[in-house]
Amino acid sequence: MPQTHLIAGNWKMNGLKSALPVAQAIAARSRNHPNARVALFPPATLLPLMAEALAGSAIILGGQDCHHADSGAYTGDVSAAMLKDAGAQMVILGHSERRHGHLEPCALVARKAQAALRAGLEPIICIGETLDQRQSGLTRQVLERQLTDSLPDELGRAAFHVSYEPVWAIGTGLAATDAQIEEAFALIRAHLHRRFGPDFVGHLLYGGSVKPHNARQILALPGISGALVGGASLTAEDFMPIVAGAD
């Protein structure tokens, strides 16, 4: 029996109410692909509306980030409990657009992961090197540091995902090669093993220019549990062939 893959669509800062039919089309067409667990990460403003529009479907919803505190005087921020209340089951943390665009350090990502677990959300923690770091031969060192500092010990008792997302592959159309993904996965797996023992419940995702033409090959890599998809998740036409790649 084929493995079930998580195919997660990160809409980033895209999507008005008029985009809800896209999510409904994805939900309807996902029924034909029982080997994929399909998740959508809309902007926070759409989350409750999407939860309502997709009620009764198998689509998992998630937030794109959360604050490290449960509530309080944090203007403009969204807590993990608020995401949960709005219909989320998961949350993306440490995305490179947060790490680099908002200068979020690993320690903050770890606190956010703790907040997600307190709220009952499954975190997807993103790690990945920049092009400069890769070209300087620092990839392994960077990934190790991000894993050590962004993953809190509490994950040892929880379901979570680590998404390997090389920064140079995000939104560029240039996906990592199979060998690059496998090398990163081996390092991540070894780290999780060391930290959490052989029975850890962490799942390994890849993100970075996953498209209809390369999804099937990427999802066939050994030990991969799914893909985090940005640009190609914004239309059912692009996203559904990726979901079908899990068949």
Binding site for ligand PEP (CB under 6 A): 10, 95, 165, 170-171, 207-210, 228-232
Residue type, 44: A
Distance in Å, CB of 210 to ligand PEP, minimum: 5
DSSP 126-156: EE---HHHHHTT-HHHHHHHHHHHHS-GGGG
Residues in the chain: 247
Tell me if 114 sits within 8 A of 154, measured CB to CB.
yes
Q: Which is nearer to ligand PEP, 64 or 139 (CB)?
A: 64
Distance in Å, CB of 174 to ligand PEP, minimum: 9
Q: Which is nearer to ligand PEP, 59 or 232 (CB)?
A: 232
Q: Which is nearer to ligand PEP, 163 or 196 (CB)?
A: 163
**DSSP code at position 177:** P
CA–CA separation, 149 vs 111, rounded Å? Answer: 10
Active-site annotation holder among 5, 67, 68, 95:
95
Residue least distant from ligand PEP (Cβ): 230
Active-site annotation holder among 129, 165, 191, 203:
165
As beta bridge partners, residue 63 has 91
CA–CA separation, 107 vs 122, rounded Å? Answer: 18
Distance in Å, CB of 231 to ligand PEP, minimum: 3
Tell me if 40 sits within 8 A of 61, measured CB to CB.
yes
Distance in Å, CB of 233 to ligand PEP, minimum: 7
- 165 a catalytic residue: yes
Q: Which is nearer to ligand PEP, 81 or 147 (CB)?
A: 147
Identify which of 43, 115, 57, 50 has the alpha carbon closest to the alpha carbon of residue 87: 50
Task: Please give the positions annotated as active site.
Answer: 95, 165
